[in-house]
Structure 1
């Protein structure tokens, strides 16, 4: 069996209206989507139309953003930085109290069978081009009401989610009609990004943290983890995912991470 290639990551500076915000470790794909998604997640913009221009300079390793509105740099730089957990250096400026003001997820336009989530998770894996090439990339995927998948990948799981949110914003997609799938752990900051956009259902191939589950329950978001083969773990019960699998294939997880009961 041949060796896979190494995944790429580059230090890229984000500059907004002439002010450098931070330097991020990013994979150089879909950087316009990442920029839009990150700016939305952090509260710099409310929609894609707030961005006047994005200029990417590969040689300088920078992304220059011109916003249509004024940017109060003094007020911004008094905010505390929080470095995200996991691979790929990430930074967020929203506080843990900011999420209390997030709107609760609107009623989803459709419900999903658990077998459908597993099927789409498998399709997601089979179509993650850069992961298949390197074995070391994270991915985020949206599934629309027709079942069509759109995938974004990056060395960092948060970056991948920002990229897919940016894609959705730039294409004016409605969150109530979408499901988010991710390869990475659903951490508090990851759940916060997804919640701010308004995804009603989030599925992952791995776990969710206790803090993320608490936030998901408060915001009425459905979280399903360990989507692998014919198995899954249900963390919340928002009524958007119907269990149609064998009783011994699905477990409900407590906030402490243990198994509460087999889900029938």
Structure 2
């Protein structure tokens, strides 16, 4: 599979995203290594400050729009009149034709299980139970194996410096958009924003993540209208419960020849013999290991 199928992919050579630092290893020897850069980004919706996020700083327009969508602050039919990014002040302003005021909503924010201090609001599940995912979408097991291989062989910030999560929008066995960030919620929001800004349909897509399949991941995938969620990592009980409620196809622990589906199994098509799938190269098997890396 050619990596040229990716519209957006990580750029580990971007000097703004990593830094070289020196230190000592376990034997006391001087070493130099790459570390991931994180910086604050303050998001405004029209004239109101919404949140300050810690992010690697790429695709701030997608991150801002996706965040607002997934927090139900931006409606699908809202007309975005402008997105202003100021790198000097680390701010992004999303402007809409509709007047907005979320003062009451902002007071109800609660911390989620996501790393890097992700926030969700008290009514983030507003409308969750009314979303209907495509019942014609399918997930061939051959696609799971092909996607895992292609994504794990893609040059990434994770392989360069670690301490980062990756999320990939896929169609059948093709990865399309690969985003990374210090928090998986940010990577998800970047893809949600990209889809909205570019009019990408969700019904026939697969969402792949290196992180845990938590309630947050399930909620955001359902909000985006994507019917299939695949991860290298494991599940939380609430994540499974919500996936079953929404009939989201939930596949976890997808490494090498193995995977486990705990919800939406009616979409699975078993068209590949697991024995024919290749084991992971040990250099890449660490990607997503331990759920947090």
Per-residue CA deviation, residues 82-103 of structure 1 (Å, 9 max, x unaligned), is: 2222322211124365354341
CA contact (8 A) 1:221 1:236 kept: yes
Whether 1:193 and 2:200 are equivalent positions in the alignment is: no
Q: Check 1:67–1:128 CA distance in 2 against 1; reply closer, same or farther (3 A cut).
A: farther
CA distance in 2, matches of 1:218, 1:193: 14
What's the RMSD between the two structures over aligned residues? 2.2
Q: Check 1:67–1:137 CA distance in 2 against 1; reply closer, same or farther (3 A cut).
A: same
CA distance in 2, matches of 1:4, 1:176: 42
- Give the superposition deviation at 1:74: 3.5
Q: Runs of 5+ in structure 1 lacking a partner? A: 250-264
Q: Runs of 5+ in structure 2 lacking a partner? A: 1-30, 278-293
Partner of 1:134: 161
3-state secondary structure, aligned to 2:203:
helix
2:43 to 5, 9, 14: 14
CA distance in 2, matches of 1:94, 1:121: 35
Partner of 1:5: 34
Per-residue CA deviation, residues 43-67 of structure 1 (Å, 9 max, x unaligned), is: 1222385321111122212111212
Partner of 2:85: 56
Q: How many residues align?
A: 245
2:123 to 83, 87, 95: 95
User: Which residues in structure 2 correspond to 1:164-243 (within 5 Å)?
Assistant: 164-243=191-270
CA contact (8 A) 1:179 1:202 kept: yes
Per-residue CA deviation, residues 159-194 of structure 1 (Å, 9 max, x unaligned), is: 001111111111211111110000111111111111
CA distance in 2, matches of 1:209, 1:96: 18
User: Which residues in structure 2 correspond to 1:85-164 (within 5 Å)?
Assistant: 85-95=113-123, 98=126, 100-109=128-137, 111-145=138-172, 147-164=174-191
CA distance in 1, matches of 2:195, 2:73: 17
User: Which residues in structure 2 correspond to 1:43-82 (within 5 Å)?
Assistant: 43-47=72-76, 50-78=79-107, 80-82=108-110
CA contact (8 A) 1:124 1:149 kept: no
CA distance in 1, matches of 2:122, 2:273: 38
3-state secondary structure, aligned to 2:226:
coil
CA contact (8 A) 1:128 1:139 kept: no
CA contact (8 A) 1:227 1:233 kept: yes
Partner of 2:7: none
Per-residue CA deviation, residues 232-256 of structure 1 (Å, 9 max, x unaligned), is: 1111144112234449x9xxxxxxx
Q: Check 1:21–1:237 CA distance in 2 against 1; reply closer, same or farther (3 A cut).
A: closer
CA contact (8 A) 2:210 2:233 kept: yes
Partner of 1:24: 53
3-state secondary structure, aligned to 1:234:
strand
CA distance in 1, matches of 2:173, 2:262: 25
